[in-house]
Amino acid sequence: MAQKYVTREEDYSKWYNELVYRADLAEHSDVRGCMVIKPYGYAIWEKMRDILDVKFKETGHSNAYFPLFIPKSYLSKEASHVEGFAKECAVVTHYRLKNAEDGSGVIVDPDSKLEEELIVRPTSETIIWNSYKNWIQSYRDLPILINQWANVVRWEMKTRLFLRTTEFLWQEGHTAHATKQEAIAEAELMLNVYEDFAENYMSMPVIKGRKTANERFAGAEDTLCIESMMQDGKALQAGTSHFLGQNFAKAFEVKFADKEGKLDYVWATSWGVSTRLMGALIMTHSDDEGLVLPPALAPIQVVAVPIYRTDEELAAISAKMAELAAKLKAKGISFKYDDDENRRPGWKFAEYESKGVPVRVAMGPRDLENGKAEIARRDNKTKEVIDFDGLENYIEQLLADIQSNLLQRAKTFRAENTREIDSYEEFKQEIDKGGFFLAHWDGTPETEERIKEETKATIRCIPLDRKEETGVCMVTGNPSAGRVIFAKAY
Binding region for a second copy (CB under 8 A): 27, 29-31, 34-39, 42-43, 46, 62-73, 75-76, 82, 86-98, 105-106, 108, 112, 117-120, 127, 130-131, 134, 140, 146, 150-151, 153, 155, 167, 169, 342
Q: Which is nearer to a second copy, 333 or 421 (CB)?
A: 333
Q: Which is nearer to a second copy, 34 or 257 (CB)?
A: 34
Peptide bond connecting 143 to the previous residue in cis, omega within 30 degrees of 0: yes
Residue count of the chain, please give it: 490
Q: Which is nearer to a second copy, 146 or 406 (CB)?
A: 146
* Cβ 39 to a second copy shortest distance, Å: 4
Contact 348, 338 (CB under 8 A): yes
Contact 458, 486 (CB under 8 A): yes
* Cβ 289 to a second copy shortest distance, Å: 24
Contact 110, 25 (CB under 8 A): no
What Cα–Cα distance (Å) separates residue 232 from each residue in 17, 465, 487?
14, 25, 11
Q: Which is nearer to a second copy, 72 or 483 (CB)?
A: 72
Contact 129, 254 (CB under 8 A): yes
Q: Give the list of residues 6+ apart from residue 103 with CB closer than 8 angstroms, or none.
A: none
Give the single-character DSSP code of 164: B
* Cβ 447 to a second copy shortest distance, Å: 28
257 three-class SS: strand
Q: Which is nearer to a second copy, 92 or 315 (CB)?
A: 92
Backbone angles phi, psi at 144, to 5 degrees: -105, 125
* Cβ 122 to a second copy shortest distance, Å: 11
Q: Which is nearer to a second copy, 87 or 366 (CB)?
A: 87
* Cβ 70 to a second copy shortest distance, Å: 7
Q: Which is nearer to a second copy, 148 or 284 (CB)?
A: 148
Angle of the 180-200 helix axis to the 39-58 helix axis, nearest 10: 140
Please state, in angstroms and rounded to a whole number, the distance separating the CA atoms of residues 412 and 212.
27
- Pairing relationship of beta strands 69-71 and 113-120 according to DSSP bridges: antiparallel
Please state, in angstroms and rounded to a whole number, the distance separating the CA atoms of residues 331 and 308.
28
* Cβ 31 to a second copy shortest distance, Å: 5
* Cβ 248 to a second copy shortest distance, Å: 15
HEC letters along 297-308: HCCCCEEEEECC
* Cβ 69 to a second copy shortest distance, Å: 5
* Cβ 65 to a second copy shortest distance, Å: 4
74 three-class SS: helix
Please state, in angstroms and rounded to a whole number, the distance separating the CA atoms of residues 441 and 439.
6
Nearest residue to 259 (alpha-carbon basis) of 135, 138, 132, 136: 138
Q: Which is nearer to a second copy, 71 or 443 (CB)?
A: 71
* Cβ 102 to a second copy shortest distance, Å: 13
Q: Which is nearer to a second copy, 14 or 98 (CB)?
A: 98
What Cα–Cα distance (Å) separates residue 339 from each residue in 167, 373, 428?
38, 16, 55
Q: Which is nearer to a second copy, 4 or 259 (CB)?
A: 259
Q: Which is nearer to a second copy, 3 or 134 (CB)?
A: 134
340 three-class SS: coil
* Cβ 100 to a second copy shortest distance, Å: 9
Please state, in angstroms and rounded to a whole number, the distance separating the CA atoms of residues 120 and 137.
29
Q: Give the list of residues 6+ apart from residue 16 with CB closer than 8 angstroms, or none.
A: 160, 279, 282, 283
